[in-house]
Amino acid sequence: MITARTMFEKIWQRHVIAEEEGELLLHVDRALIHEGSSHAFAALDAQKRTVARPQQVFAFNDHYVPTTGRDRGVNGISNPEIRNMVLKLADNTARHGVTLFGIDDPRQGILHIVPPEQGITQPGLIIVGADSHTSTHGAFGCLAWGVGASEMMHVMATQTIWQRKPKTMRIRINGRLGFGVAAKDVILALIARIGAGGGTGHVVEYAGSAITSMSMEARMTVCNMSIEAGARAGMVAPDATTFAYMKDRPYAPKGAAWDEALAFWKSLPSESEAVFDREVGMDAGAIAPMATWGISPEHAAPVTGKVPDPDDAPDEAKRGEIAAALDYQALKPGMALADILIDRVFIGSCTNSRIEDLRAAAEVARLGRAQVPAWVVPGSRTVQRQAEKEGLDQVFRAAGFEWRDPGCSLCTAINGDQLQPGERCASTSNRNFRGRQGTGGRTHLVSPAMAAAAALTGRLADVRELLK
């Protein structure tokens, strides 16, 4: 009897090459690397191996490049260590014939922003990247996850990877999102509900009317933070929205190849009778603009809410976790989230630096002037050019925001952009761990519109109050 299959199973089965002791050897369609991938190249060199299929590997300057002073290219990088990393990536990719979206490339940007823009990301593929947020690409109906240096070396040398088959989870989010509620609020609300380990061991397929009505940018935001829910990867079934976004992208199929690819892509969605290992449902209409208060993405609540009291926690472990988070964040139990004062605002990262994100932030920025330092960092040169064409950079500048060059910037704090000890930031990035944005820095995750609202008010603010 033929069993109905999920989208994950369809993609997984197509890529299996061999099985050994419960592990499966999978073909990899795309590999994405950045400046931090030098260890993988060094391992290749040590074994006197070359990249097996360089046309299927793509490299990006993003994690370490500065977001100011870029007019001089690599020579404008003042930190010699970072400059050498950028130069080494250029050398390694040139030696192996790998395409590099380098610091001087007009397409340069974050490795989870550029591939969708260029049509490198396509439905039905297996994509691995040298960064945990490779799950972003699953928004296109492909299976994508992050790997370490040793696994990446294996992928580059063989275009394959060994994996154990994960479980499947479907998260249905039905209904219509309310006024002022964005995709970032959806994923933060979900993580707050199921926990930072709620998706552990699973590949998540997002479904339901709230998901299918989202733009591709919004779907990427949701899939991006699947990792913060502990999931192996996140996926959304490809549909007309996907195909319209991909049409005529530089790396997308053309002519008859497009028609052939489209027919395949339309066969990918999970079959109606397919069974998932776990199912979760959420009401989109019940989701409000969110903000995190602690040091885990699951430490999130509606911005109209309050900081929790450890004494109200269900067990001793949770009490200790909340108490430690409040101690690090210097917050008191019961205080209103809207009373939390902010020192800095960051709008950027692979989670929220696409043109749609910048438009949402600019809509709010038009309403006032920043009360605290606020950075806007586009995810790519392509996004930057589009934003400048629309005059968004001028909107931000007029409101006192700083307009910067593309890169990971304050999300990773390994490129010169970082918080000072004790500094509190409203950030559109994906992680609020201790020291994530700089030693002693305190991060509150929010949507782009919410970040702009925080800039105008100097505190965590309900963006709906400004927009109404």
The per-residue pLDDT for 106 is 97
Superfamily classification of domain 293-467: Aconitase, domain 3 (3.30.499.10)
| pTM of this structure | 0.97
Average pLDDT score over residue span 430-454: 97
Average pLDDT score over residue span 433-458: 97
Chain mean pLDDT for the chain: 97
What pLDDT digit, counting tens, does each position of 40-65 carry? 999 999 999 999 999 999 999 999 99
Asked if residue 69 has pLDDT above 90, the reply is no
Query: What residues does each domain of the chain span?
Result: 7-163, 167-237+269-286, 293-467
Asked if residue 2 has pLDDT above 80, the reply is no
Residue recorded with tokens 């990536």: 89
Distance CA 227, CA 196 (A): 8
The per-residue pLDDT for 70 is 86
Would you tell me how many other CB atoms lie within 10 Å of the CB of residue 412? 21
Vertex 85, ends 82 and 86: CA angle to 5°? 90
Asked whether 118 and 249 are in contact (CB, 8 A), the reply is yes
* Residue % of the chain over a pLDDT of 90: 96
E-assigned strand segments in 130-230: 143-146, 160-163, 167-174, 202-207
Asked whether 442 and 330 are in contact (CB, 8 A), the reply is yes
What pLDDT digit, counting tens, does each position of 362-384 carry? 999 999 999 999 999 999 999 99
The per-residue pLDDT for 248 is 97
What pLDDT digit, counting tens, does each position of 87-135 carry? 999 999 999 999 999 999 999 999 999 999 999 999 999 999 999 999 9
Do the domains at 7-163 and 167-237+269-286 have one common CATH topology?
Answer: no
User: Which of 360 and 77 is assigned the larger pLDDT?
Assistant: 360
The per-residue pLDDT for 138 is 98
The per-residue pLDDT for 333 is 97
Q: If pLDDT is split at 50, 70 and 90, which confidence band does 460 have? A: very high
What are the Cα distances from residue 354, in Å, to 109, 147, 308, 428? 11, 24, 33, 11
What pLDDT digit, counting tens, does each position of 390-423 carry? 999 999 999 999 999 999 999 999 998 999 999 9
Asked if residue 1 has pLDDT above 70, the reply is no
Neighbouring residues of 175: CB distance < 8 A, sequence distance ≥ 6 = 208, 209, 210, 283, 284, 285, 286
Task: Write the class of the CATH domain 7-163.
Answer: alpha beta
What is the CATH T-level fold of the domain 167-237+269-286, as seen in this structure?
Answer: Aconitase; Domain 2 (3.40.1060)
Secondary structure element (H or E) that encloses residue 443, with its range: strand 442-445
Which of 68-72, 85-89, 257-261, 448-452 is the least confident region?
Answer: 68-72
